Amino acid sequence: EKLSLPVTCVQGEGESDSACPSLKGPNIRTITIGEGHHFGGEYQRLVDVILRRR
């Protein structure tokens, strides 16, 4: 099934189990923030990315 709504998938650098690489489509945006599961502690950047995409 195709997604018609915009989707932002956020992953940490080096995440081997992230679903982001498998998501495809014109409305999919993948963003890499920091490193690993905890985004390298870049939580404010994570918040900024999420709020910008609303």
**8, β-bridge pairs:** 29
- Give the residue, 4 or 36, on which the prediction is more confident: 36
- Is the CB of residue 12 less than 8 Å from the CB of residue 33? yes
The percentage of the chain sitting over the pLDDT mark of 90, rounded to a whole number, equals 61
Q: Which amino acid is at 49?
A: V
Q: Given this model, what pLDDT does residue 36 score?
A: 93
Compute the average pLDDT of residues 22-27. Answer: 90
Q: Let me know if residue 15 belongs to a domain.
A: yes
Residue 1 included in any domain: no
Domain that holds residue 21: 7-52
44 within some domain = yes
3-state secondary structure (DSSP) of residue 22: helix
* Residue 42 within any structural domain of the chain: yes
Specify if 19 maps to a domain. Answer: yes
Does residue 36 fall inside a structural domain?
A: yes
Q: Which residues pair with 45 in a beta bridge?
A: none
Q: Quickly count: other Cβ atoms within 10 Å of residue 10's Cβ.
A: 19
Count of the separate structural domains present in the chain? 1
pTM: 0.75
